[in-house]
Amino acid sequence: MVEGEQPNGGQQMKRIAAILLGLALVGQSTASFAEGNTPESTGTQIGAGVGSVVGSAVYFPFKASFCILGGVSSGFALVFAGSKAAEKVVGTTCRGTWAITPNVVKGKETVHFTGNTR
């Protein structure tokens, strides 16, 4: 590094985050545009898209951590309780909703943090 030169890694990271957010918004609006005649305003669609991206960014790490812990727990369940119990543990922790969609933000769909073990 040359004396007096400032590292700009933070600036590059901000630029990458802005590009990713922009692409996510364009992808959401394109998908909603392809649906055809919807009575919702563009502002509502954009808001739901932004809420979807932000909600998924917050929700996904918790869901992934829960699934990983469930996978570890299912290993113990396999050893101590058998394969059926291990299957239920993994099914409960890793199935369910993995992303917050615009329909979840609008209240048309529900979030299922845990999966169904039927």
pLDDT digits (tens, 9 = 90+) for 10-53: 677 777 777 766 666 666 555 555 555 557 788 888 888 999 99
Q: Is 57 helix (H, G, I), strand (E, B) or coil?
A: helix
Q: Cα–Cα distance between 62 and 8 in angstroms, integer?
A: 30
The answer for residues whose C-beta is within 8 angstroms of residue 110's C-beta and 6 or more apart is: 104
* Assigned domain for 34 exists: yes
Count: domains in the chain: 1
* Assigned domain for 3 exists: no
Alpha helices in the chain (DSSP H): 9-34, 42-81, 83-94, 102-106
Structural domain span for residue 62 = 9-106
* Assigned domain for 66 exists: yes
| pTM for the predicted model, two decimal places | 0.61
* Assigned domain for 115 exists: no
* Assigned domain for 113 exists: no
